[in-house]
């Protein structure tokens, strides 16, 4: 229900013919600071959700809000005949709505807020009614005054409830849908203006970078408390990923340097694959790199796969068909050998290239005698001849003989 609608309904429910003269209103107005102070004290004492929460500046702010609400009530009660009740009521309803939103942000429940209003109504009526009686108003007017007090409190509490509900809707299920849409847009590589609008709609403070993490969906439990509160989680229809196991993606803010090491520690035993940190609008690139690592077969064990440590494997595996063609071409001299012999020579040649021809290092790598290395490399040289002196051939062989670590 909107504030104007509430304002229009109040007179019919709250005896609009009530009028107190300005002298009575002025007398009541002097009581407002005391009534506000007593109201805050009673709420603190009687409503568990507010125990100890209304001291200091917050208590002063609430006292001021109570005074404003009571002042709005007195304006309503003393308005001239035929005037619009919405004029004095509007600011009070706006303040009550804002109070409801603020209480939701503070984590207090709607029940606590309504209990505070009930206590406030009782205290306000007890103190204001005593003052009204002292002014000599007749019983019928006092009764109408009481009705107006409680109708006014009802309207304020309804406005606060609306603010509380709206805030929870924004920060709860509705906000979660906005965050999911933001995740979708990021993974899809949406344009910058669309990403900015999506982040604003979700009330999501954009970080400097985002890092994509792929992991089994059932491994997400307990991670939220270990990661930045802005971390996005998404697990539906992940683009470019086909797997029998339900997989989720986390988009983790500002996980670089020491924070990246902390992220890796938090992902132990979760079978995670971690992409690089990228400017937040470019996190799709981080996601796609993690996807390529999974497709390449870089399966995590107890420790997560850090794609930054497998860049060469990712580059070489970027075009499997091209790699296969390269292997067929540069390893052709070994094609006519018996499979076991060809495998031993491929293994020796790979180690020879990686260790730059240091025979003892190759022997240690392959767990064979240095003379065995010499013999095998003699066979390789017979097959390749002078081509082993060609830098381009050496590069092609190094790439073709690469094996993912």
267 lies in the same domain as 309 = yes
For residues 236 and 175, what is the distance between their CA atoms, to the nearest angstrom? 17
Beta bridge partners of 343: none
Q: Is residue 190 part of a domain?
A: no
If asked whether residues 155 and 238 sit together in one domain, one would say no
Tell me the pTM.
Answer: 0.54
Q: How far is Cα 236 from Cα 120, in angstroms, rounded to an integer?
A: 48
Mean pLDDT by 10 residues, the chain (405 residues): 40 49 77 82 80 64 71 70 53 82 77 84 82 76 76 84 81 80 94 93 92 92 86 88 84 93 93 95 96 84 88 83 88 92 94 92 93 94 91 90 64
CATH of the domain at 100: 1.10.490.10
Q: 209 and 83, same structural domain?
A: no
Contacts of 46 (CB under 8 A, 6+ apart): 115, 119
Look up the domain containing 130 and give its range. 3-171
What are the counts of helices (DSSP H) followed by strands (DSSP E) for the chain? Answer: 17, 5
Sheet holding 305-306, edge to edge: 232-234, 247-253, 209-216, 273-279, 305-306
Are 297 and 273 in a shared domain? yes
Q: What is the CATH number of the domain that holds 278?
A: 3.30.70
Give the pLDDT confidence score for residue 54 in this predicted structure.
62
Claim to verify: residue 138 and residue 26 sit in the same structural domain:
yes
Whole-number pLDDT of residue 56: 63
- Do residues 163 and 219 share a domain? no
Co-location of 359 and 389 in the same domain? yes
Residues 293 and 338 in one domain: no
Give the residue from 288, 316, 344 where a domain finishes: 316
Q: Tell me what pLDDT residue 11 has.
A: 39
Structural domains in the chain (count): 3
> What is the spatial distance between Cα 168 and Cα 183, in angstroms, rounded to a whole number?
21
User: Does residue 200 lie within any of the structural domains?
Assistant: no
């Amino acid at each position: 229900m909107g504030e104007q609608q509430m304002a229009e309904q109040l007179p019919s429910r709250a005896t609009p013919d009530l009028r107190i003269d300005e002298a009575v209103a002025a007398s009541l107005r002097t009581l407002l600071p005391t009534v506000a102070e007593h109201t805050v004290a009673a709420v603190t004492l009687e409503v568990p959700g507010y125990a100890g929460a209304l001291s200091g500046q917050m208590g002063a702010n609430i006292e001021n809000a109570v005074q404003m609400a009571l002042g709005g009530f007195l304006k309503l009660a003393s308005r001239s005949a035929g005037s619009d009740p919405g004029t004095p009521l509007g600011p009070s309803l706006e303040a009550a709505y804002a109070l409801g939103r603020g209480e939701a942000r503070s984590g207090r429940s709607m029940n606590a807020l309504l209990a505070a209003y009930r206590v406030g109504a009782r205290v306000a009526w007890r103190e204001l009614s005593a003052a009204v009686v002292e002014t000599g108003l007749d019983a019928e007017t006092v009764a109408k005054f009481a009705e107006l007090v409680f109708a006014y409190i009802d309207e304020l509490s309804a406005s606060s409830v609306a603010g509380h509900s709206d805030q929870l809707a924004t920060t709860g299920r509705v906000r979660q849908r906005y965050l999911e849409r933001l995740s979708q847009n990021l993974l899809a590589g949406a344009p910058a203006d669309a990403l900015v609008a999506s982040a604003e709609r979700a009330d999501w403070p954009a970080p400097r970078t985002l890092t994509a993490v792929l992991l089994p969906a059932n491994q997400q439990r307990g991670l939220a408390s270990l990661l930045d509160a802005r971390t996005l989680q998404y697990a539906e229809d992940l683009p470019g990923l086909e797997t029998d196991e339900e997989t989720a993606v986390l988009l983790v803010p500002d996980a670089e340097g020491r924070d990246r090491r902390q992220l890796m520690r938090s992902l132990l035993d979760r079978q995670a694959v971690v992409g690089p940190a990228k400017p937040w609008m470019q996190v799709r690139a981080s996601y796609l790199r993690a996807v390529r690592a999974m497709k390449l077969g870089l399966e995590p064990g107890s420790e997560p796969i850090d794609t930054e440590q497998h860049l060469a494997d990712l580059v070489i595996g970027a075009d499997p068909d091209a790699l296969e063609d390269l292997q067929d071409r540069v390893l052709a001299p070994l094609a006519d050998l018996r499979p076991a012999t060809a495998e031993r020579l491929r293994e020796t040649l790979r180690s020879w290239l990686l260790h730059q021809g240091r025979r003892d290092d190759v022997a240690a790598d392959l767990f064979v005698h240095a003379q065995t290395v010499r013999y095998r490399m003699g066979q390789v040289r017979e097959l390749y001849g002078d081509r082993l002196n060609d830098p381009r051939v050496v590069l092609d062989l190094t790439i073709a003989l690469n094996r993912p670590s």
